[in-house]
Structure 1
Amino acid sequence: MIRRVGETPEPGRRYTRRPGAYVLLPREHQVLVTWYDDGQNPELQLPGGGIDPGESPITALHREVFEETGWSIANPRRLGAFRRFTYMPEYDLWAEKVCTVFCARPVQSKGPPTEEFHEAVWMDIDVAIQALGNPGDRYFAARLAQKLIKSEFGA
């Protein structure tokens, strides 16, 4: 069973299942996140997005991270998954988003994001835990912060 976060699905509303791959990209005590601002729905997000038909989650992850941040990544490791029910205005779609979250190493910035309305931002992980736009992203950022603290102090 996959943990549900956020709003409870509305009875009688039809939701389209949307699998996606998202990533935490730590560097010291910071993470690389995406600031999305289309002028209507600004939000701080983990880089990532929808998995296209026939595409593997890892391939989608590399593609989405590059599109949204301009960075290449290496060594993605699955941390877990969550699902949330939400309206996606850019697609005019009510979706059940099934979000698989990874942790990976940011390798190199190849330039600015290629996807419209996105900006790559390095942020202190403790700030990101509070500022990320959905509770699933915040949950996995908090778990990563705990792991970083344990490894730093040898616990």
Structure 2
Amino acid sequence: MIRRFGETPQAGRKYTRRVGVYALLPRGRHLLLTCQTEPGPDLQLPGGGIDPGESPITALHREVFEETGWLITSPRRVGAFRRFTYMPEYDLWAEKVCLIYRARPVRRIGPPSEPFHEALWLDSADAAQMLGNSGDRHFASGHLMGL
């Protein structure tokens, strides 16, 4: 069973299951994060949905690059969680299954290509308190403790 964070699902509401990949990207005492400015702002671990036919690792590389402009290496899965939420960009109530990886940011190629996303480095301890959802905060805190 995958641990749930956030709101309890509402009885009678239909949720669409969406599996996504998200990355803890440490460098020294900092984590590379993305801030989604619309409809936000919302501070997030970089990542997102896995496209049909796409492997989780391929999706992780693509999503991190789209949301941060960085290339990554050595992804390793460290856990998973799920949360029930409304996704305004899709007008969708979703059961998000979030696969969490730790990877090494290698090189910044350019700015994020995903609209309304900004990459930023934040002290890991601050990130563990400021990330926009409790699942992300849990894994950022675990990163501080060495998972």
Structure of greater Rg = 1
1:152 is aligned to none
In 1, the alpha carbon distance for the partners of 2:98 and 2:139 equals 11
**For 1:96-127, what per-residue CA distance to the aligned partner results, in whole angstroms no more than 9, with x for missing partners?**
00000000000000000000000000000000
Say whether 1:97 aligns with 2:96.
yes
Letter in 1 for 2:129: Q
Question: How many residues are treated as equivalent by the alignment?
Answer: 147
* Corresponding residue of 1:42: 41
TM-score using structure 2 length: 0.99
Distance in 1, matches of 2:40 and 2:102, equals 26
Question: What whole-Å deviation, never above 9, does each CA across 1:9-34 have from its counterpart, x for those lacking one?
Answer: 00000000000000000001000000
Alpha-carbon distance in structure 2 between the residues aligned to 1:78 and 1:145: 16
Alignment of 1:17 with 2:17, yes or no, is yes
Structure 2: give runs of 5+ residues left out of the alignment: none
After superposition, where does 1:101-120 map in structure 2 within 5 Å? 101-120=100-119
- Equivalent AA in structure 1 for residue 102 of structure 2: C
TM-score (norm 1): 0.93
Q: Secondary structure at the match of 1:147?
A: coil
- Pairwise CA distance, 1:41: 2.2
| Stretches (4+) displaced over 2 A | none
| Unpaired runs of at least 5, structure 1 | 149-155
Per the alignment, in what secondary structure is the counterpart of residue 126 of structure 1? helix
How many Å separate the matches in 2 of 1:143 and 1:30? 14
